[in-house]
Amino acid sequence: MPHHLRTATNTSRWIVLGAVVAVLAALAVGALRLSAGVTTAPGAATAAATAAAAGPGATGVPASSAPAADTVDPRTGRHSTLGTLVPDYTLPPIENGMVPVITSIPTGQKVVFLTIDDGAVKRESDLALLEKNGIKASLFLAHTFIAGHAAFYHAYLNAGYLIEDHTMTHNLGFIGLPYDQVKAEICGMADYEEKYFGRRPVLFRPPGGPYTEAVRRAAAECGMRAIVDWKAKANARSMQYQVGGALRPGDIVLIHFRPEFPADLAAFMKAQKAAGLKVVLLEDYLGVK
Ligand SMILES: [Zn+2]
């Protein structure tokens, strides 16, 4: 074989070898990303692009194979707790100047929502316990319990929990207050949370739960999207149901940051597992920012 042809053949051999190495590298990257649970679309797209660049016939990891568990919800801009679940409920709009009230979500989907109130007890171990069990929750905090301790809740925010409005003073006679005071209780806490937590709350829970049309109107004027009460609570180390003796799909559950939080959370998880329900963040299900 003439010298110049042999050189050409050697060159083409190197090109083929290079392409094979590139394909193997792309497959290895894809396998590593999958085994590490890293499923962001950009990563998968990079692996696919690398494989494509290696030449025709190369196989990569198509972006469509990436599970939705770690994707950002375009409705909220947040990493969602919903996984592949598509909500079948839409929050009613504000009507006649009043926010809607929800105590459970009317759905057949096997989901349950945890809400944690007040903020009287502040322990890093409570967050660790929630995280260990893969539970995200909505925190309805009142200024009177958390004043001077806003920084403590940044760990919750960083871990993907959301903080909502539970008034300034947690006055249990709240619904009997004059309208301007009702509004100051709600708007004041919304302003505080926006300032210290970087997000204006969109959900409101009245102290103790009761509400009036005036409360629903004041909540709307403070920028709330809904009043959120509850269908069951974990209290004094056991579950208390308003209806029946078990959790049902769509239930909103109340628990408090109290000394007995670990035992209350255990009671909730026992009921949640017995009912076969997945704990997802209420705001993710509602699609609210
Ligand atoms: Zn409360």
pLDDT in tens, 88-136: 999 999 999 999 999 999 999 999 999 999 999 999 999 999 999 999 9
If pLDDT is split at 50, 70 and 90, which confidence band does 63 have?
A: very low
Q: How far is the CA of 112 from the centre of ligand 1 (A)?
A: 20
Same domain, yes or no, for 38 and 160? no
Q: How far is the CA of 122 from the centre of ligand 1 (A)?
A: 15
Q: pTM for the full model?
A: 0.77
d(CA 117, CA 239): 16
Same domain, yes or no, for 126 and 252? yes
Same domain, yes or no, for 225 and 110? yes
Same domain, yes or no, for 282 and 220? yes
Domain span including residue 227? 101-286
Quick one: three-class SS letters along 147-161?
CCCHHHHHHHHHCCC
Asked if residue 76 belongs to a domain, the reply is no
Number of domains in the chain: 2
Asked if residue 72 belongs to a domain, the reply is no
Asked if residue 270 belongs to a domain, the reply is yes
How far, CA to CA in Å, does 179 sit from each of 28, 169, 193, 217? Answer: 64, 15, 21, 9
Q: How far is the CA of 253 from the centre of ligand 1 (A)?
A: 13
Asked if residue 185 belongs to a domain, the reply is yes
Q: How far is the CA of 277 from the centre of ligand 1 (A)?
A: 25
Contact present, 248 and 220 (Cβ < 8 Å): no
Residue 67 three-state SS: coil
Asked if residue 225 belongs to a domain, the reply is yes
d(CA 281, CA 289): 12
Same domain, yes or no, for 9 and 148? no
Q: How far is the CA of 119 from the centre of ligand 1 (A)?
A: 9
How far, CA to CA in Å, does 6 sit from each of 12, 59, 102? Answer: 10, 30, 78
Return the percentage of the chain with pLDDT > 90, whole number.
75
Same domain, yes or no, for 203 and 148? yes
Residue 178, pLDDT > 90, answer yes
Q: How far is the CA of 102 from the centre of ligand 1 (A)?
A: 16
Helix (H) / strand (E) containing 264: helix 261-274
Same domain, yes or no, for 265 and 203? yes
If pLDDT is split at 50, 70 and 90, which confidence band does 243 have?
A: very high
Asked if residue 260 belongs to a domain, the reply is yes
Asked if residue 89 belongs to a domain, the reply is no
Same domain, yes or no, for 14 and 145? no
Same domain, yes or no, for 184 and 238? yes
Residue 200: give its domain's CATH number: 3.20.20.370
How far, CA to CA in Å, does 21 sit from each of 32, 81, 174? Answer: 16, 38, 70
Same domain, yes or no, for 141 and 54? no
Q: How far is the CA of 166 from the centre of ligand 1 (A)?
A: 7
Least confident of 18-32, 150-164, 208-222, 243-257: 18-32
Asked if residue 95 belongs to a domain, the reply is no
